[in-house]
Each structure stands twice: as C-alpha cells, then as structure tokens.
A and B are shown apart, each in its own frame.
Chain A
Amino acid sequence: MFTTIVSAILAIAIAIFGGAASVWYALDVEHGFGSQTVGVWTSYPDLGSAESDPYSKARVAREGILVLGRAEGLTFTASTDSSGEGLRRECTYVIEGTIPQARFWTLFAADAALAPITNPFVRPAAVQSQAVLRLPGNGVSITVSPHASPGNWLETSGKGEAVIVLTLYDTSLTGGKNFSDIELPQVLRKDCDA
C-alpha cells in the first residue's frame, strides 16, 4: 500500500516537474527550435510568423516580443567570436567579411539581455551600412572596441557579456530558404582590457 502511494506521487512529480522544466529549457536555449546558424551568427527566420512551429509560438507568447516581419528584415545575433569564445564588452573585436544583399543593414552591440549598449556620450554602440567605409570587393571591416579606432568604429563600454546584433532590412533572405549559401562576416578577437 505504502509503496503504491509513493510510486504514484513519484510518477506525478516527475510528470509535472519534468514536463515544465523541459518546456522551459527548450524555450530558453540559444540554438533552440527553428534557429539557423551561419558561422557565429544565429537567426530565427520563422519566429513570430504564422507558419512557425509550436516552440516558436510559445516563445513569442512567453517573451512577449513583436518580431520583425518578412518584408521588414532579418536579425542575426552573435554571442561568440569565431574561435567560439563568448563576446565581452571590455574586449576588442574585428568584424570582417561581406554582408548579404539588403537595402541596408544595421549592426549594434547589446548586453546579454539584448538591450542595446548605451554609451556615456552621444555615440550609440551601433553602425549602419549607409555610413560605413567599405573594403575593396564590397566587404566591410568594423572594429568593436571600447577604445577609439580608425575606420569603422563601433564603440562599446562597460563590462560583461555582449551580443552583436546584425539586422538586414528589406532583404530577399527572409524565410530562410537560401541560408546554406550565404556568407556572414567573421568575428575576430583582438585584445581585452584587464
């Protein structure tokens, strides 16, 4: 009798906590359902659209977000550099490579919660394609650093984890159908403040 009750309680406890915890895990993990990765960059091309999977739908509802529509743009985030190490606000990185076809794009640094980093002075921690210097061959090289640097400088400040967000506006890439053959820039770590 006693073992029956214990077993029943155990089964119910595993069901409830296991079920709830696994949903939470599935919704929180960075490379979750519906994500596509290109190098260090992750995107959720179907997030928030009517055709998205139940995980994406639950994610949108739980986080209360209003994601960019397909005709608007596509967002990529990078939280590690090309060697796989996590991005830090106190470090200097060079983002180098070509960026896929779009009407324009923006690139900004954010904290771990994806809120844009604000600097003590007027400059936002952001650059956009209409105001960057380009390399021969239409590539770009952007220095992400707390210290002033020549060329394209994305000024960061503070300490802690960082995420770099690249958004392509009015691009034909939306829908994620041709992700396999696109190229996104590398994120190379230079040095860090002690």
Chain B
Amino acid sequence: MIRCEQLKVTFNAGLPTEKKALRGIDLEIPEGEFVTVIGSNGAGKSTLLNAVAGDIPVSGGRILFGDRDVTRVPATGRTREVARVFQDPLAGTCGSMTVEENMALAYGRGSRGNLTFALNDKLRKIFREQLSRLNLGLENRLDAEMGLLSGGQRQSVSLLMAALQPSSILLLDEHTAALDPKTAALIMDISAQIIAEKQLTVMMVTHSMRQALDFGSRTLMLHEGKIVFDLKGEDRSNYEVSDLLNLFAKARGSDEALDDDKLLLGS
C-alpha cells in the first residue's frame, strides 16, 4: 500500500545548516498493516510521516500509494488516501469553530468544497452517533466551540474526524504524547478500534516502547535518517521493552549512554 524507494529528505540543502533528515528509506507496508515507528529525537520519524503525507518536499527517491506515484503530489492531493492525527491536540481542529463545523470539514476531506450547505440534519445525526462512541458526552455539544473543549476531548474528536471519510492510510504522529495517561489510554483504545474496524494501513510514531510493542504488527526503528531495524512476526512477539532499549543503545553507539528520558516513558 505504502512504498518508499530510496526516500531522501534534506533540509536547508547547500547551507551550513544542512540537515539530512532521511538518508534513503526503503520501506514497503502492505495494505492493512499497522506499523509503529520509534527512534530518538531527530531520527527522522516525523519527517518520514510528513513526507508520506506530502507536507514536506522530497529531495530524492519515490513514494507510492499502491501503484500511484505520489512523490510530486502535494499534501492536499493525497487527502483522499491519507488521514492524520497530530501530536498537538490544537493542531487537528479549529478552535474558533464549533464541533459540528469541524466534523463537517473532515467529512468533506478529499472532495472539492462546493456551494451546498456544509451542515444538515442527516450529517448531524452521523456526527452524534460517532461522538457517542467516545462516551464523553460530546454528542450533546455539537454546537460548542472547539476551543472550549479540553485537550483530550479535542484529540478524541480529531481521531473521529480522521476516520469520518473512508481513507486507506492513517498517520498518527505521537497522537497521545500530550495527554494524561488515562486519556492517552482511552484514545489508544479508540484508535485501535477504528483501525481494526476500517482495516486501515497505519504508521504510528511513538516515544513509548510499550505502545510500540503493544499495538500493531510491525515496529520500525529509525536512527539518523535510516531504518536501523525492522521487527515483525514471530520475532516481534518475543521482544520485551528491555530488548528494545538495548537495540536503541546499540543503534546510538556503545559509547553513548542512554540519556533520553522520553524513551523510558511508559516502559
């Protein structure tokens, strides 16, 4: 479903601040696979997700969705296939618009906006049904301003919004990192539910080793813009968090101590 061939991304090319964020990623994710992506800060995890989404230009290699080469297709042209949830709960929704307006926007994802009314009773019914899955009482607050909701509530709505339109690829960029543990667990639960129900192809970036092993069927580790290991099947089910941490230490070089607190969170 998603194929990257020798994918390279370089920021500030030719300048003293040049940064090779991705240095040739070869990756094939079959349809319906749920891949978790880990790696230290600056390893290129988010860059990989942004490249797949089309947010940043690629400096080399190709990206394909199925047989379709999307390397030069801008982000807006990929939204028929790709849905996303961001790390920042404020990034995925418009705070100054109501819950139903936000959902109506997501409902129109992938189609050109036209001059029919964005909201009607049929849509409101669909939105209410979807919101009631969250058990947060939001189904009765359709006309509340998004900015009045808590971060967890907003992130929950973002997740529902990502799943409103049929899409095949879901990109989750540390989408539970900014939430308290209880809300994070709730959001992860709903994510897993939606992913299973819609049989989505998923890439989830996470800083939590526990999450990386508990969810999905494959784990990638990135380091300095390269995939340093690719864990799946039998192998993966035998892995423990401590094994991952060892791999991490190895990837970073034996002389470098594991000093990143974030990596240990949730382990």
B and A form one assembly: no
